A and B are shown apart, each in its own frame.
Chain A
Amino acid sequence: MEGVVTLSEMPLNAMGRVFCVRSDGAQLRRLKDLGFTPGASVQKLMTAAADDPSAYKICGCVIALRSADASGILVWTDVGGSGK
């Protein structure tokens, strides 16, 4: 089943595509610079103790985001999906 969830809700090791980034200003700018743009492929790699922050593979790099900030990013999860 495919659906749209927030980045923080993504299960571990799941892959997905960025649907939209609900931020603005400097925060949006920074996320875009790091590769969080609609259509970009993203994978949740790991989570620190206490569930915060989590690390995601985006644009060939590994970026850690706090769950509060990650909940502003919506992703289209891809069950059993392939891709880079």
Chain B
Amino acid sequence: MKASRIFKEKPVNSISQTWNSDGTVSISIFKEGWKKPYVFKAKNLNSKQETILEDEEVTE
């Protein structure tokens, strides 16, 4: 499952968001038991114009 989908649909323990001046946000998610955090990047997050730019596949 992609990190962006887990961010929206599943509970995780830690979320880090870095908002950029161009309207994009890089989000890192982590859940206890994972080997590492997973990252995705979005533009216009949570809006109708939302676009996922980069998205890691969570293999755990």
A binds B: no
Binding site for B on A (CB under 8 A): none
Binding site for A on B (CB under 8 A): none
